[in-house]
Chain A
Amino acid sequence: MTTNSIAIDSSFYIAFMSPKEINDIEILIEILKRYEFFIGEIVLKEISVKHGDLLEKIKMLKLIIILERYDYSALLSVIGDKIFKKGEYECMAIAYYLFKKNKLHSLIIDDGSARDFVENNIPSLNPFMKYTLRFIVDSHCLEQKISRKKTLIILDKVKRAILDGSRPFNLTEKNIGVIDQLLKEVDECQK
Chain B
Amino acid sequence: MTETPGAAAVPSKNLARSAERFALPAIWVILLVVFSVLRPDTFLTLANFSAMFSSQTSLLVLALAVTIPLTAGDFDLSVGSTAGLSAMTIAVLNVQYGVGIWWAVLAGLLVSVLVGVVNSALTILVGVDTLIVTLGMGTLLQGVISWMGNFSVVTGVSKSLVNAVVRTRILGIPIEFWYGLALCAIMWYFMELTPLGRRLLMVGQSRKVAQLSGLRVGALRAGALMSSALLAGVAGALVVGTTGSADQTSASQLLLPAFAAAFLGATTILPGRFNAIGVLVSVLFLVTGITGLQQLGVPSFVQNLFYGAALIAGVVLSHAVGIARQKKKRSL
Is chain B found bound to chain A in the same assembly? Answer: no
* B binding-site residues for A, Cβ under 8 Å: none
